[in-house]
Amino acid sequence: MRMYKTAIKPAFDYTISCAAIVILLPLILITGLLIYLTQGRPLIFCQERPGKNGKIFMLYKFRTMTNETNASGELLPDHQRLTRLGRFLRRSSLDELPQLFNVIRGDLSIVGPRPLLVEYLDYYTGEQKRRHEVKPGITGWAQVKGRNALKWEEKFILDVYYVDNISFCLDLKIILRTFAKVFSFSDIYNKQGTTMDKFKGSLS
């Protein structure tokens, strides 16, 4: 497992990401053009996220929301700013395509616990923090086991399971299941019909 984590997995990530960018380049360009025509610039949404060992990096996504504000200059709620195109990009996971460049940069792995918000770092228990022992990923064990239909605590248990059981076979299983999830548009929303609420700690 040590050899896989330190040598094989990074090489696999880099090779697959480069190949995916070449193959998906027309789709990436078309998606960027559609965003430009419907929303203008910027095309990419950038946000700080914690990576391996909590190191902060800039995560890339295609922009799915407008920058509309209320009379006080505050951003409107996410569901009001989410565009029709943005909703489709999220449902199809096409908004995640720019993260292939994060993999090439070494910020992400293809498979690993999803990088969450920096503000969550103060809320994790000691066990939950173990999700940062490996690089975060574009997809992960929690995503193929339920994604946004899971409770936060359930996600973190699955993230730590991945950390303790990382292997080529598990990564391959997650990648194959990810394709099934993407094409079935499943587990995008929770039981309330929304994406996940913000995490405020397991005891709150």
- Among the residue ranges 26-35, 68-77, 114-123, the one predicted with the least confidence is 68-77
What SS3 state is found at 93?
coil
Q: What is the pLDDT of residue 59?
A: 98
Burial-class residue 140 by CB neighbours within 10 Å (0-12, 13-18, 19+). Answer: buried
Residue 88, classed as helix, strand or coil, is helix
Q: At what angle do helices 84-92 and 9-39 cross, to 10 degrees?
A: 160
pLDDT at 177: 94
pLDDT of residue 185: 63
Q: Is 106 helix (H, G, I), strand (E, B) or coil?
A: coil
Q: Integer distance in angstroms from the first to the last C-alpha of the chain? A: 36
Strand ranges inside the chain, DSSP E: 44-50, 56-62, 109-111, 137-139
Cα(81)–Cα(5) distance, rounded to whole angstroms? 40
Q: Is the pLDDT of residue 105 over 90?
A: yes
Specify the pairing of strand 137-139 against strand 109-111: parallel
Angle, helices 168-184/9-39, rounded to nearest 10 degrees: 20
Q: What is the pLDDT of residue 191?
A: 46
Tell whether the model's pLDDT for residue 189 goes beyond 80.
Answer: no
For residue 75, the model assigns a pLDDT of 81
Q: Is 204 in a helix, a strand, or coil? A: coil
d(CA 1, CA 119): 31
pLDDT in tens, 132-169: 999 999 999 999 998 778 899 999 999 999 999 999 99
Q: What is the pLDDT of residue 193?
A: 41
In angstroms and rounded to an integer, the radius of gyration of the C-alpha atoms of the chain is 17
Q: What is the pLDDT of residue 55?
A: 96
The reported pTM is 0.87
| Maximum pairwise Cα distance, the chain | 56
In tens, the pLDDT along 11-69 reads 999 999 999 999 999 999 999 999 999 989 999 999 999 999 999 999 999 999 988 88
Which helix (H) or strand (E) covers residue 129, if one does?
none
Task: Calculate mean pLDDT across residues 86-109.
Answer: 95
